[in-house]
C-alpha cells in the first residue's frame, strides 16, 4: 500500500519566533507521540537557515522535516549552494527537487533537476520530484508532453530504481499561489498518466510510487483531491504556514480512508 504523505513547502518565509509557534502548534495538534496510527506522514520543508531549528523542535514528534532544494554537486567551490550531505547532517529525510519556481525563476533545466534527484538519492534522502505544466502549455494541450519530458529526464539519470526511492509531485504551474486549483478529475488524469508511463518500465514500482498533488491545496479541497485513486497526498505551499490549515490537510487522507 502506498504511503500517504503531506509535505509543507514554506518557500522563503519564516523567522525563528514565528517558526517555533508554527511548528509547536502543528506538533501539539497532531499529538506528541511518533506517528504510528496509519495516518498521513507530515513533512515540513523549511528554508536552509532554519533546518537545525526544525530538527531541534521536531525530533521525536510525528512531523519530519526537509529542505526545499539541494545542489547537484557533493562539495567544493559552489558558493551559496547546499549539498545533500549537509542536509543529512541537519537531520533531513526529504528534499524538494525541481520545483516550478526553481525551474521558472532560476533557470533550472530538466537535466539539472535530474542530477539533483540523483545527489539526493545518493545521500539517502527521499526526494520529492516536482513536475508540471504552465498555463500556456495546458492551453496548448501539451500537459502530457511536458510532464513526460520532465519525468523521462529523471529516469534517464536515476532509472526506475531511483524513482522507487522517490516521491513525485504533480504541480500545475498555473495553480500555484494563484488560488486556482485543478479540478480533482483534472489532477487525477495527470497522476494516472504519470503512473501509466512508469508502469511501461516497471508496473510494480509504478503501483507503489507515492504521488502528490500541489497547487493551491487547502483544508477545504484537500479531502476531495486526496480521494482520487492516484493522488496520495499533497505538496502544500501557503496553507502550510497556518497551523489550522496545515493540520486539517494532514488529517485529510485519514478522513478519506474512513469514508
Nearest to 66 by CA among 89, 83, 43: 43
191 noted as active-site residue: no
Q: How far apart are CA 122 and CA 158, in angstroms?
A: 10
Q: Are 54 and 23 in contact, with CB atoms under 8 Å apart?
A: yes
99 noted as active-site residue: yes
Q: Are 11 and 68 in contact, with CB atoms under 8 Å apart?
A: yes
Task: DSSP letter for 192, please.
Answer: H
Residue among 101, 171, 191, 245 flagged as catalytic? 171
Q: How far apart are CA 56 and CA 231, in angstroms?
A: 31
Nearest to 67 by CA among 81, 231, 31: 81
Nearest to 93 by CA among 24, 138, 41: 41
Residue among 99, 133, 191, 245 flagged as catalytic? 99
* CB-count burial class (<10 Å; 0-12, 13-18, 19+) for 107: exposed
Catalytic (active-site) positions: 99, 171
Amino acid at each position: 500500500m502506498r504511503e500517504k504523505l503531506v509535505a509543507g513547502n514554506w518557500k522563503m518565509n519564516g523567522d525563528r519566533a514565528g517558526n517555533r509557534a508554527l511548528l509547536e502548534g502543528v506538533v501539539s495538534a497532531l499529538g506528541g507521540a511518533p506517528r504510528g496510527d496509519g495516518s498521513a506522514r507530515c513533512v515540513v520543508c523549511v528554508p536552509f537557515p532554519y533546518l537545525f531549528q526544525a530538527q531541534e523542535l521536531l525530533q521525536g514528534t510525528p512531523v519530519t522535516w526537509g529542505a526545499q532544494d539541494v545542489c547537484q554537486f557533493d562539495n567544493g567551490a559552489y558558493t551559496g549552494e547546499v549539498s545533500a550531505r549537509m542536509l543529512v547532517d541537519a537531520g533531513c529525510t526529504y528534499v524538494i527537487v525541481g520545483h516550478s519556481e526553481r525551474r521558472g525563476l532560476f533557470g533550472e533545466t530538466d537535466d539539472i533537476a535530474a542530477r539533483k534527484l540523483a545527489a539526493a538519492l545518493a545521500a539517502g534522502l527521499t526526494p520529492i520530484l516536482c513536475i508540471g505544466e504552465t498555463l500556456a502549455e495546458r492551453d496548448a494541450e501539451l500537459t502530457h508532453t511536458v510532464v513526460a519530458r520532465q519525468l523521462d529526464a529523471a529516469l534517464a539519470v536515476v532509472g526506475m530504481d531511483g524513482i522507487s526511492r522517490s516521491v513525485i509531485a504533480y504541480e500545475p504551474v498555473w495553480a500555484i499561489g494563484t488560488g486556482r486549483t485543478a479540478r480533482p478529475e483534472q489532477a487525477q488524469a495527470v497522476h494516472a498518466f504519470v503512473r501509466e508511463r512508469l508502469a511501461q518500465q516497471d508496473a510494480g514500482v509504478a503501483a507503489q510510487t507515492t504521488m502528490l498533488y500541489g497547487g493551491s491545496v487547502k483544508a477545504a479541497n484537500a479531502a476531495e483531491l486526496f480521494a482520487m485513486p492516484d493522488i496520495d497526498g499533497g505538496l502544500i505551499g501557503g496553507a502550510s504556514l497556518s497551523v489550522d490549515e496545515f493540520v486539517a490537510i494532514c488529517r485529510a487522507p485519514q478522513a478519506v480512508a474512513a469514508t
